[in-house]
Structure 1
Amino acid sequence: MRLIINADDFGLSRGVNYGIIDAHKNGVIKSTSIMAGMPGFDHAVEFLKDCPELGCGVHLTLSAYKPVLKTHKTIVDENGYFYKRIYNKKVEDFDLNEIYNEFCAQIEKVKAWGINITHIDSHHHIHMSEILKPVIEKILEKYNFPIRGGLRYDLNYNKIVPYEGI
């Protein structure tokens, strides 16, 4: 059995980036998950160049800062920021195509920097929400990345996809 300790929120800020890199170089962190739309993204990418042994996934985001795409109407507030409390919104308020396009844009931004993506996961575990089930399944079909935590939907959905070899 192999245990992988992952530090998410990479790219959130310089402070978070320094903490993750320090924990990787001097501790047990073997994997991280980067947030493509955050202010510390470019700073995080520079660190990855010096840490090729640090696995990096994409930390899909719908509830922090701004989206990668600027064309959204239903998933951002009047200032262009993601809603901080996405779970407080009604599913009917969102265009799932916007969410799918935003997730693809986040993944493509990370790929464009030459990062070998090891997995996907999400900020506040939104990928495990029943609302996003069709979006996440479409993302997995398109990119074929492992997903951290499997595919559990609101703990009442029975579909669980385990990692091989764990």
Structure 2
Amino acid sequence: MPVPLTDRLGLPPGTRAIILNADDFGMCRAANRAITGLLSDGHLDSATLMMPCAWAPAAAAFAASRTDLDVGVHLVLTSEWSGYRWRPLTGIRSSLTDADGYFPRTCLEVEQNATEEEVAAELAAQLEAALAAGIDVTHLDNHMGSVYGLETGRDFLAQVLPLAARHGLPFRLPRHGTETEPDAAMQALLAQAAAVADAAGVVIPDRSWTHPFPLAGEGTDGRGDL
């Protein structure tokens, strides 16, 4: 059994610790304004930045100027909106793009079409871009769960975890499901993935929850309006 993360962090026995993280930093101006304000005011513990997005330079400039804050990289393989999209840093002629030259909208398309080599190159490019921008990158996570294999079972953890290990970075891969009684098959997959992370020396959280708020326009043509 791995040593509990709270023990490894030097917290007292029995401590329950929560990290409040905001991802999608750099996606758009509204996200930047919200996240920089919340980080600066101490209402968030950390954020993760989407380097391929149009507003990433502004977010990166803020993060580089505030190395006292914890800012990581939100690794991207999808571009889900209808009217605002982004492309791979490694170029548009690859298995990572759709017919329009953007990242695909869904994780299913990523799992069906992306090659391991091009995923590895793209994720490394995103991290290197953040480091080159002067960001003291503190952790990694993943946009929409596109590396977890949730749609077909084909994951890209073999590309993510070595990247995290090489740079000594934690990765947001929950060791346990978020439900009170998680699905047995899902828990088995998480346990297998956690074992790989442990073997690589990559720190992962015990659990992960997202916010419970519905997205405006969810299920309608207006969902992609930003």
TM-score of the two chains, using structure 2 as the length reference: 0.64
Number of residues of Structure 1 aligned to a counterpart in Structure 2: 165
Trace 1:69-88 onto structure 2 (pairs within 5 A).
69-70=90-91, 72-88=93-109
CA 1:50–1:139: 2 relative to 1, 3 Å: closer
Instruction: Pick one of 139, 142, 150 that aligns with 2:163.
Output: 139
| Distance of aligned partners of 1:42 and 1:24 in 2 relative to their CA distance in 1, 3 Å threshold | same
Report 1 or 2 for greater relative contact order, CA contacts < 8 Å, sequence distance ≥ 6. Answer: 1
Distance in 2, Cα, partners of 1:88 & 1:155: 24
What is residue 21 of structure 2 aligned with on the other side? 6
Q: Aligned with 1:22: secondary structure?
A: helix
**Greater shift after overlay, 77-86 or 5-14?**
77-86
- Counterpart secondary structure, 1:17: helix
1:41-81 deviation digits (Å, cap 9, x = unpaired): 11112222443322011100000221111154211012210
Structure 1: runs of 5+ lacking an equivalent: none
Is 1:113 equivalent to 2:133 in the alignment?
yes
TM superposition shift of 1:151: 6.4
Which position in structure 2 is the counterpart of 1:29? Answer: 44
Matches within 5 A, 1:93-104: 93-104=113-124
Say which one has the larger Rg.
Answer: 2
Query: RMSD over aligned Cα, in angstroms?
Result: 2.6
Which residue in the other structure is 2:11 paired with? none
Change in CA separation of 1:148 and 1:23 when aligned onto 2, cut-off 3 Å: same
> Percent of counterpart pairs with the same letter?
24
* Divergent runs of 4+, >4 A: 150-155, 161-166
Normalising by structure 1, we get a TM-score of: 0.85
